[in-house]
Amino acid sequence: MLMVMLGGGLGAAARFLAQEAGQHWTKLPGWTAILAANILGSLLMGIGYGWLHGLVVLESHEALDAIQRYRDSQSIHEGMALLLAGFCGGLTTFSTFSLDNLFLAYRKRGQLVCNILGCLLLGIIAAWTGLFIGGQLA
Amino acid sequence: MMRFLQLILCIGFGGGLGALSREGSMSLLHGQLGMPRYIALACVNIIGCLLIGIVFAFLEGTLRRDGSSRLRDLPHSRQLHEHPWWPEGDTTLSPVELLRMNRSLQAASALVITGFIGSFTTFSSFSLLTVQQLQQGAALEACISVVGSISLGLLAAWLGVHAGCRLVRKP
The count of structural domains within chain A is 1
Contact yes or no for A106 and B86 at CB 8 A: yes
Q: What does the pLDDT average to over B162-167?
A: 79
Distance in Å, alpha carbon of B65 to nearest chain A alpha carbon: 18
- Express each pLDDT in B76-98 by its tens digit: 444 454 544 555 667 778 888 77
- Express each pLDDT in A55-112 by its tens digit: 765 545 555 666 666 666 656 667 777 888 889 989 999 999 998 888 888 778 888 8
Distance in Å, alpha carbon of B68 to nearest chain A alpha carbon: 22
Predicted local confidence at residue A109, as pLDDT: 84
The C-alpha atoms of residue B148 and residue A120 are separated, in whole angstroms, by 13
Contact yes or no for A23 and B51 at CB 8 A: no
The C-alpha atoms of residue B42 and residue B46 are separated, in whole angstroms, by 6
Residue A17 lies in a domain: yes
* Straight-line distance from the first to the last Cα atom of chain A, in angstroms, rounded to the nearest whole number: 26
At CA A4, angle to CA A13 and CA B45, rounded to 5?
Answer: 75
Contact yes or no for A12 and B115 at CB 8 A: yes
Predicted local confidence at residue A51, as pLDDT: 83
Chain B, 58 to 77: residues with Cβ < 8 Å from chain A are: none
Residue A26 lies in a domain: no
Asked if the C-beta of B119 comes within 8 angstroms of chain A's C-beta atoms, the answer is yes
Containing structural domain, residue A86? 2-21+31-137
The length of chain B, given as a count of residues:
171
- Express each pLDDT in A11-28 by its tens digit: 999 999 998 888 888 888
CB environment B8-23: b (16+ within 10 A), e (fewer) = bbbbbbbbbbbbbbbb
The shortest CB-CB distance from B126 to any of A6, A33, A94 is to A94
Residue A56 lies in a domain: yes
Output the CA torsion sign for B21, B17, A11, B86.
positive
Distances (CA, A) of B75 to B62, B92, B167: 14, 26, 13
Asked if the C-beta of B130 comes within 8 angstroms of chain A's C-beta atoms, the answer is yes
Which of B22, B19, B32 lies closest to A2 in space, CA to CA?
Answer: B19
Contact yes or no for A88 and B161 at CB 8 A: no
Asked if the C-beta of B146 comes within 8 angstroms of chain A's C-beta atoms, the answer is yes
- Break chain B into its structural domains and give their ranges: 2-168
Q: What does the pLDDT average to over B95-124?
A: 85
Residue A6 lies in a domain: yes
Which of B15, B79, B77, B2 lies closest to A96 in space, CA to CA?
Answer: B15
The three-class DSSP label of residue B145 is helix
Predicted local confidence at residue B81, as pLDDT: 47
**By the 8 A CB rule, do A48 and B48 touch?**
no
Distance in Å, alpha carbon of A81 to nearest chain B alpha carbon: 12
